[in-house]
Structure 1
Amino acid sequence: MKFAPSVGVKFHEDGSVRRFPGNTFICHVDPSLDLINELAWAQEQLKAMKCGFKFSYLPIESMHMTVFEGVCDQIRLAEKWTSNLALDVPLSETTDYFAKAVSNLGAHQGFEMVYDYVHNCQIGGSAIRIKPANEETKQALAHCREELRKATGISMPDFDDYHFHITLSYRVIELEEHEKAELKATTDRIAERISQSFGILKHRAVEFCTFDDMFEFKPMLTLA
């Protein structure tokens, strides 16, 4: 049995979450939307696979779209850290710094997103890729991300190529070839339904969140 790269970092071998603290800027999916039921259905399809036990699944109440990545305590690399603070400062100091730095950015909300496709990541799990529904949202997201980059001093290597998404699962154990085929067939079925039911997802305000692990993101302040 070969474990995925996430084991020993974000997850234990049994799929339970491992302590992996950090901070991030996200939009939670409004729990009152019908889309939540569709995301729950998609997860049930994945869990029902014969290889479904090889994944860990994001709790439905934590469904979100990352707008801008913050920092993770266990990833102390210059290209994934803020240039405004030393690499060895406590995580709590970065959180306090970011909260103060973004407190005057004003409102960032109302982003309208539509379905793009279901993505099975080679080093991760399955996610629903989404994209701006119109040019207004495209420009608003770009503006928001640029403001956050300047305020936080974080400039991730994939900044210009970042793909917005809603994570469904994280792979814990590597798949055999026949299991990869099962996953593809399942996500193809999910894509067929979600592409028709997704509609337009309108987000509420961007939240600056802290997290202790990959299953819960705790809002500290909103950009509103």
Structure 2
Amino acid sequence: MSTPNRRGVLFGAAGAAAGLAIVPAPAFAASQRPGRREPLAAGPGKKWDLDGNAQRFRGNTFVCPVPQDSAFFRAETEAMEIMKRSSLADQYVCLPRQSMHMTVFDAMTQDDISKKQLPAWLADCTDVSEVSQRILARLQKSTLTPMGPITMKVKGFRPFDANFTMDLTPADDATFNTLWTTRRELSALLEIRASNFETYQFHSTIGYRLVKPLASDVPPMERLAARCSALFTGDAATVTMEHPAFDLFDDMLAFPQVWRLPKA
């Protein structure tokens, strides 16, 4: 797939505007504000640089793409446009539309390898490619329970002092059982169990916060949350995700599928 203009996914804002700006202005990057902004999801070894360019951050994961013909997807893209026109735009970077997804189960990243945080059967791996190959081989020999449809409902935006993320919850008992059966089976199969495994919050991230907020950012963050939340009503309040797969990534711009989880 073609790579989007990485600088283009970060939009500037009118620096003097309060709240939500109507007309976008030239970007004023966080890195151009010495001493004012402390990096959050940006910097060396992170997913982004301070100008909102995607940096190489390799790993593998299990995700459901957000269906692009859904009302939920349209609401996400509209929320993204609202963010790009807001006075907070230079503090966030939005994902490309084609990479919108919901994670079912986190696997491994380059950080896990560099910090030696690997299960015993992967402990001798030295790079992400080797880890991914071994995980794929184990998946191909597995007998995971086939998954039914995954229908999620909107729970609400997380506080905007972290990322630009919509929390989701299973819309019915069938989805709850499907997701948690698969999560527990993958955890046992791959011998991977995060510290927040039992309390994991399903979500769909629209963008990442590059720098930590100031107290003056709170009112526009609250207004932005209210305006964006209003988009996720009616048909956009629920979404049936595309079927999940084991995906690889080199950065946050694309999640190519390698092996599809068994389907009921």
Q: Is the TM value for this pair above 0.5?
A: yes
From 168, 173, 177, give the equivalent of 2:215: 177
1:183 and 1:81 map into 2 onto residues whose CA distance is: 38
Please give the root-mean-square deviation of Cα atoms over the aligned residues, in Å: 1.8
- What do residues 6-28 of structure 1 show as CA deviations (whole Å, max 9, x unaligned)? 21211111110111000000000
Shift of 1:109: 4.2
User: Larger relative contact order (C-alpha < 8 A, sep ≥ 6)?
Assistant: 1
* 1:111 maps to 2:150: yes
In structure 1, list runs of 5 or more residues that go unmatched: none
Q: Equivalent residues in 2 for 1:1-224 (5 A)?
A: 1-8=36-43, 9-76=46-113, 77=115, 81-86=118-123, 88-103=125-140, 104=142, 105=144, 107-120=146-159, 122=161, 124-224=162-262
In structure 2, list runs of 5 or more residues that go unmatched: 1-35
Shift of 1:51: 1.7
1:71 and 1:136 map into 2 onto residues whose CA distance is: 28
Shift of 1:71: 0.7
Using structure 2 for the length normalisation, give the TM-score.
Answer: 0.78
Pair 1:196–1:179, CA change in 2 (3 A): farther
Task: Give the aligned residue type for 2:149.
Answer: G
Shift of 1:182: 0.4
Is the deviation greater in 156-165 or in 46-55?
Answer: 46-55
8 Å contact kept, 1:109–1:206: no
State the aligned residue count.
Answer: 222
8 Å contact kept, 2:155–2:169: yes
- What do residues 106-129 of structure 1 show as CA deviations (whole Å, max 9, x unaligned)? 53241111111111254x311110
Shift of 1:210: 0.4
Task: Give the aligned residue type for 1:89.
Answer: T
The higher radius of gyration belongs to 2
Using structure 1 for the length normalisation, give the TM-score.
Answer: 0.92
8 Å contact kept, 1:3–1:13: no
